[in-house]
């Protein structure tokens, strides 16, 4: 069942974080739904601009609609990840999305507010929830690359002003994470102090943590043992998710870790079966491994086992 992101936030706030997982294709979608049912967790499926154009946005949306039928037990929201204004409007008008993220974090404060406000007005008129971003994460997104020295942590006072002036429903805060597989090249870590200051100024308001893949070292080692060359990769310690949740982080974004699962499964399959050219054997292994990965991640987020309570809350 597709629900609004706001309902998921209401159930989770302060207790656990909802996993927001990016998907691009059928196998990821299948593994994602299986893993969430396996662990009895509500979740957010998120689609980036790149994912929407990888095949065709309608194709991807169609896969999710079908998953909703194949897994009637699932409770989830559909979210646009890192949208520009035009993509947000497209998703708002499509009628399919529970929520959109407008990412104008690369703009200066007043311009970020103006763009975000336009998206909020259009989205709220259709009952759609909006996430915005303030501060800048390091790392590489689809069309933006931010060096570590340019990454800016979110200013707590600005966060309060931004939320009040835009009317946005949740806020992605830069607290030291970055996108991709190469986080924390120096001695950096998560800035829980910044998070606590933001929560103090915005009590009860859902915060979002991007760049939250943990880049498991055993996964990287297996990829490299099977012919990969991923050197110096490092991620977020997922044992810190629960602490972040108590500080108001209600949505945690994970994409890179799923790509690592895909890479490991396919590298290992083809290195041990050099004669194979069939896509189905590694695809089957991937769907199962991705489901196991999602289920394990939901344990770290605290969202595992929350489905029955959420269903009860929604029925009231
Ligand atoms: O934050 C970015 C997400 O990992 C999506 O990545 O734009 O390559 O689909 P993508
Ligand atoms: P990772 O690159 O750490 O998986 O972050 C994903 C993300 O923030 C998507 O918006
Ligand atoms: Zn992100």
Judge whether 290 and 261 are in contact, CB under 8 Å. Answer: yes
pLDDT digits (tens, 9 = 90+) for 27-54: 999 999 999 999 999 999 999 999 999 9
Q: Ligand 2 in contact with 81 (CB < 6 A)?
A: yes
Q: Where are the domains of the chain?
A: 5-315
Whether residue 94 contacts residue 20, with contact meaning beta carbons closer than 8 Å, is answered with: no
Which of 300, 171, 145 minimizes the C-alpha distance to 236?
300
166 in contact with ligand 2, CB cutoff 6 A: no
Backbone angles phi, psi at 173, to 5 degrees: -110, 140
pLDDT at 106: 95
Q: What is the pLDDT of residue 185?
A: 66
Ligand lying closest to the C-alpha of residue 23: 1
pLDDT tens track for 229-265? 999 999 999 999 999 999 999 999 999 999 999 999 9
- 234-266 burial, b if ≥16 CB within 10 A, otherwise e? ebbebebbeebbbbbbbbbbbbbbbebbbbbbb
Ligand 2 centroid – CA 307 distance (Å) = 24
Which ligand is closest in space to the CA of residue 21?
Answer: 2
212/170 Cα distance (integer angstroms): 17
Report the C-alpha gap between 265 and 153 in whole angstroms.
Answer: 35
Cβ < 6 Å from ligand 1: which residues? 22, 48, 50-51, 81-82, 141-142, 179, 255
Fold entry, domain 5-315: TIM Barrel (3.20.20)
Quick check: CB of 214 below 6 Å from ligand 2?
no
Say if residues 16 and 302 touch (Cβ distance below 8 Å).
yes
């Amino acid at each position: 069942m597709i629900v609004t992101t706001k309902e998921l936030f209401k159930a989770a706030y302060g207790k656990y974080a909802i996993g927001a997982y990016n998907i691009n294709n059928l196998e990821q979608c299948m593994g994602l739904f299986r893993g969430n049912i396996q662990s009895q967790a509500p979740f957010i499926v998120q689609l980036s601009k790149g994912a929407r154009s990888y095949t065709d946005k309608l194709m991807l949306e169609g896969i999710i609609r079908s998953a909703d039928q194949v897994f009637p037990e699932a409770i989830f929201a559909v979210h646009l990840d890192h949208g520009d204004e035009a993509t947000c409007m497209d998703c708002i008008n499509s009628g399919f999305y529970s929520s959109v993220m407008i990412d104008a974090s690369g703009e200066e404060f007043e311009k970020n507010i103006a763009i975000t406000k336009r998206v909020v007005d259009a989205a709220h008129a259709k009952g759609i929830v909006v996430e915005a971003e303030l501060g800048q994460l390091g790392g590489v997104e689809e069309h933006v690359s931010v060096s570590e020295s340019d990454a800016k942590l979110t200013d707590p006072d600005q966060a309060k002003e931004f939320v009040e002036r835009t009317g946005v429903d949740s806020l992605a805060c830069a607290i030291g994470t970055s996108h991709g597989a190469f986080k924390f090249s120096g001695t950096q870590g998560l800035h829980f102090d910044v998070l606590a200051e933001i929560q103090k100024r915005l009590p009860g308001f859902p915060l979002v943590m991007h760049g939250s893949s943990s880049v498991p070292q055993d996964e990287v080692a297996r990829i490299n043992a099977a012919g990969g060359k991923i050197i110096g990769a490092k991620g977020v310690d997922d044992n810190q998710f629960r602490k972040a949740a108590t500080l108001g982080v209600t949505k945690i974004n994970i994409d890179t870790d799923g790509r690592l699962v895909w890479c490991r499964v396919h590298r290992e399959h083809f290195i041990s079966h050099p004669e194979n050219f069939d896509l189905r054997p590694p695809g089957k292994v991937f769907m199962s491994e991705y489901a196991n990965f999602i289920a394990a991640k939901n344990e770290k987020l605290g969202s595992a086992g929350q489905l029955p309570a959420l269903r009860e809350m929604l029925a009231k």
